[in-house]
Amino acid sequence: MSDKPKIAIYWCSSCGGCEEAVVDLNEAILDVVDAVDIVFWPVAMDFKYEDVRKYKDGELLASFINGGIRLSEQEEIVKLLRKKSQLVFAFGSCAVMGGIPGLANMTNREGIFTRVYKEIESNDNPENRVPETETKLDGKYDLELPEFYNSVYPLDQIIPVDYYIPGCAPSPETITDAFTAILEGKLPEKGSVLSPAKSLCDTCPRKDTKPDRIEIERFVEPHHYDKLDDGRCFLEAGIICMGPATRGGCGERCINANMPCRGCYGPPNDVKDQGVRMMSALASLIKTDKEEEIPKVIETLPDLIGPLYMYGLPSSILFRRKIK
Amino acid sequence: MTETRFEPNIVAFVCNWCSYGGADIAGSMRLKYPSNVKLIRVMCSGRVDPEFIMEAFRNGADGVMVLACHPKDCHYIEGNYKALKRYNMLKPLLDQFNIEQDRLCLDWVSASEGEKFARVSREMNERITKLGPLNWEKAIGPVRSTEVLS
Amino acid sequence: MKEKERLGFFLCECSKNISGTVDVHKIKDELRKLPDVVTAEVTNLYCSADGKAEIIESIKKNKLTKIVIGGCSVKQHEHTFMKVLEEAGLNPYFMQLVNIREHVAWVTDDKDKATAKASALLKAAYHRVQFHEAFEKKEIDANADVLVIGGGLSGCEAALNLASEERKVYLVETHPSLGGQATKYESSFPSLECCSCMILPKLQEVVENPHIELLTYSDVEEVVGFFGNFEATINKKAKYVVPDKCIGCNECLAPCPVEVPNEYDDFLGKRKAIHFQVTGATPYLPVIDKETCLRFKGEDCTKCRDACLFEAINYDDEDEKSTISVGSVVLATGFESFDPALIPNMHYTPDTDVYTALQFERLISNTGPTSGKLLKRDGTKPKSLVMVHCVGSRDKRYKNYCSNICCSVLLKMSSQILEEKLAEGIQITHLYRDMTIGSTGMENMYEKLKQEGVGFIRVANPNDINFNSQNGQIHLTLPEKNLTADMVVLATAMVPNKKAEKLIDMLMLSKDEEGFVMPTHRKIDAVSTPIEGVIVIGSASYPKDITHSIIDGSAAAGKIAFELKPGKKLEIETLVSFIDEEICSGCKTCISICPYKAIGYDSEKGLSVINEILCRGCGSCVVACPSNAITARLFEDNTILAELGGLL
In this structure, are residues C380 and C513 in contact, taking their beta carbons and an 8 Å threshold?
A: no
C5, C135, C640, best to mutate vs chain B, most B CBs in 10 Å:
C640
The reply to whether C204 touches chain A by the CB within 8 Å rule is no
The span from the CA of B134 to the CA of A8, in Å, is: 42
User: What pairing do the DSSP bridges indicate for beta strands B37-42 and B104-108?
Assistant: unpaired
Min Cα separation C586/chain A (Å)? 6
Confidence band for A279, pLDDT divided at 50, 70 and 90: very high
Closest to B42 (Cβ–Cβ): which among C102, C635, C645? C635
At C1 the pLDDT is 53
Ordered structural domains, chain B, with CATH: 10-149 (3.40.50)
- What string of H, E and C letters represents the secondary structure of C374-421? CCCCCCCCCCEEEEEEEECCCCCCCCCCCCCCHHHHHHHHHHHHHHCC
The span from the CA of C597 to the CA of A285, in Å, is: 15
Provide CATH code, domain C573-632. Answer: 3.30.70.20
Closest to B149 (Cβ–Cβ): which among C106, C113, C645? C645
The span from the CA of A66 to the CA of A93, in Å, is: 8
CATH architecture observed for domain C238-317:
2-Layer Sandwich (3.30)
Residue of C nearest to A276 (CA): C626
At C2 the pLDDT is 67
The span from the CA of C562 to the CA of C559, in Å, is: 5
In this structure, are residues C599 and C611 in contact, taking their beta carbons and an 8 Å threshold?
A: yes
The reply to whether C74 touches chain A by the CB within 8 Å rule is no
C506, C583, C585, best to mutate vs chain A, most A CBs in 10 Å:
C585
User: pTM here?
Assistant: 0.83
- Return the percent helix, strand and coil in chain A, to nearest 5: 35, 15, 45
The span from the CA of C452 to the CA of C428, in Å, is: 10
Count of positions (residues) in chain B? 150
- Cα–Cα nearest to C150, from C507, C584, C455, C480: C507
Instruction: Give the percent of chain B with pLDDT over 70.
Output: 92
pLDDT in tens, A180-236: 899 888 999 999 999 999 999 999 999 999 998 899 999 999 999 999 999 999 999
Position C574: which residue type? T
Confidence band for B3, pLDDT divided at 50, 70 and 90: low
At C480 the pLDDT is 87
Cβ contact, residue pair C589, A268, below 8 Å: no
> Does the CA dihedral C360-C365-C367-C371 come out positive or negative?
positive
Cβ contact, residue pair B76, C616, below 8 Å: yes
Residues C291-307, buried b or exposed e (16+ Cβ, 10 A)? Answer: ebbebeeeeebebbbeb
pLDDT in tens, C368-405: 888 888 999 999 999 999 999 999 999 999 999 999 99
The reply to whether A207 touches chain C by the CB within 8 Å rule is yes
> Which residues of chain C have a CB within 8 Å of the CB of A209?
none
Min Cα separation C141/chain A (Å)? 29
The reply to whether C595 touches chain A by the CB within 8 Å rule is no
Q: Which fold has domain C7-129?
A: Rossmann fold (3.40.50)
The reply to whether C594 touches chain A by the CB within 8 Å rule is no
At B143 the pLDDT is 57
The span from the CA of C389 to the CA of C407, in Å, is: 6
Specify the 3-state DSSP secondary structure of A196: coil
Closest to B150 (Cβ–Cβ): which among C102, C107, C641? C641
- Cα–Cα nearest to A62, from A7, A2, A22: A7
By CB atoms closer than 10 A (0-12, 13-18, 19+), residue B69 is buried
In this structure, are residues A35 and A183 in contact, taking their beta carbons and an 8 Å threshold?
A: yes
At B1 the pLDDT is 47
pLDDT in tens, B97-146: 999 999 999 999 999 899 999 999 999 999 999 999 999 988 887 654 33
C138-237+319-331+497-566 shares its CATH topology with C573-632:
no
The span from the CA of A163 to the CA of A156, in Å, is: 10
In this structure, are residues A252 and A204 in contact, taking their beta carbons and an 8 Å threshold?
A: yes
Which chains have 3 or more CB–CB distances shorter than 8 Å to chain B? A, C
The reply to whether A103 touches chain B by the CB within 8 Å rule is no
The CATH homologous superfamily of the domain defined by C335-496:
FAD/NAD(P)-binding domain (3.50.50.60)
The span from the CA of C182 to the CA of C624, in Å, is: 47
The span from the CA of A165 to the CA of A214, in Å, is: 32
> Does the CA dihedral C52-C54-C57-C58 come out positive or negative?
negative
Instruction: Give pLDDT < 70 ranges for chain C.
Output: 1-2
The reply to whether C113 touches chain A by the CB within 8 Å rule is no
The reply to whether A284 touches chain C by the CB within 8 Å rule is yes
At B145 the pLDDT is 39
At C417 the pLDDT is 95
Q: What are the extents of the domains in chain C?
A: 7-129, 138-237+319-331+497-566, 238-317, 335-496, 573-632
Peptide bond into C243 cis (omega under 30): no
The span from the CA of A206 to the CA of A233, in Å, is: 5
ipTM above 0.90, yes or no: yes
Residue B149 above 60 pLDDT? no
**Where does C61-186 show beta strands of DSSP type E?**
66-71, 95-99, 138-140, 146-149, 169-172
Closest to B141 (Cβ–Cβ): which among A106, A150, A277? A150
Closest to B50 (Cβ–Cβ): which among A156, A280, A321? A280
Cβ–Cβ pairs < 8 A, chains A and C:
78
C-alpha neighbours within 13 Å on the C-beta side of residue C563: 18
Closest to A199 (Cβ–Cβ): which among C582, C585, C624? C585
Confidence band for B150, pLDDT divided at 50, 70 and 90: very low
The reply to whether A100 touches chain B by the CB within 8 Å rule is no
In this structure, are residues C583 and A248 in contact, taking their beta carbons and an 8 Å threshold?
A: no
Return the CATH number of C138-237+319-331+497-566, one of 3.40.50.300, 3.50.50.60, 3.30.450.20, 3.40.718.10.
3.50.50.60
C-alpha neighbours within 13 Å on the C-beta side of residue C46: 31
A residues 280-299 closer than 8 Å to B (CB)? 280, 282-284, 286, 289, 291, 294-295, 298
In DSSP notation, chain B reads: -PPPPP---EEEEEETTTHHHHHHHHHHTT----TTEEEEEES-GGG--HHHHHHHHHTT-SEEEEEEPPTT--TTSSHHHHHHHHHHHHHHHHHHTT--GGGEEEEE--TT-HHHHHHHHHHHHHHHHHH----HHHHH----S--S--
